[in-house]
Amino acid sequence: MNLTYLEYGANGFYLLAVFLAARNSIHTWWLGVIGCALFSVLFYQVKLYAEVVLMLFFIGTNFIGWYQWGRSSGVKAVTSAPFIRLLAYAALAMLVTLLYGFVLHRFTDAYAPFVDSAILMFSVIAQFLLMNRKLETWWFWLIVNTLAVPLYFSRELHLTAIVYTGFWFNAWYGLYLWRRLSKSPAS
């Protein structure tokens, strides 16, 4: 498949999924499955192997998130995670980033294995926080997008880099909106 068409398709579905996540819509999940499947093929072709693993992880968690958000018991409110837990998550992400980055560096032809691994690990945390409607998900997505934009530009995935720049702004909007929802008695 032509990389250009693959990149356009992956970004189209994923852009809509991320846009809907910030707006607290359940449709984020099924659109995310499609976008992640397309991205996994694209990232494999440009040797971003940690990104491939991440997309496969996202496919699984999109199904779980879809289930969690759509349970008949009602919509889960936006809440905050304990600060000490967030610090532990960040420390774990940094440790695993170093270990997985080393494995990729040593045993594969991966491009930018440590940055790629950092995107993987911080995305995993952000995804779990998103699935549980934790406000702090947006801080982790800001870290991910800040790292991803220059990485994608360096692999000549210009459209993807531009879209992830938009995701960076969307994360700020998601943080703003979810902060309001977390203070709302009807959240």
pTM of this structure: 0.85
> Nearest-CA neighbor of 42 among 156, 127, 120?
156
Domain that holds residue 152: 3-183
Q: What is the pLDDT of residue 187?
A: 46
Q: What is the pLDDT of residue 73?
A: 57
Dist. CA 130–CA 52, nearest whole Å: 20
Please give the DSSP secondary-structure letter assigned to residue 79. Answer: B
> Max Cα separation, the chain?
52
Q: What average pLDDT does the structure give for the chain?
A: 91
Q: What is the pLDDT of residue 45?
A: 92
| Residue scoring higher pLDDT (186 or 47) | 47
Dist. CA 81–CA 143, nearest whole Å: 17
Q: What is the pLDDT of residue 19?
A: 87
> Nearest-CA neighbor of 178 among 125, 126, 124?
126
Average pLDDT over residues 131-148: 95
Tokens found for residue 177: 């909106």
Q: Which residues contact 32 (CB under 8 A, 6 or more apart)?
A: 13, 14, 17, 18, 21, 58, 62, 65
pLDDT tens figures, 54-94: 999 999 999 998 888 887 555 678 899 999 999 999 999 99
Count of the separate structural domains present in the chain = 1
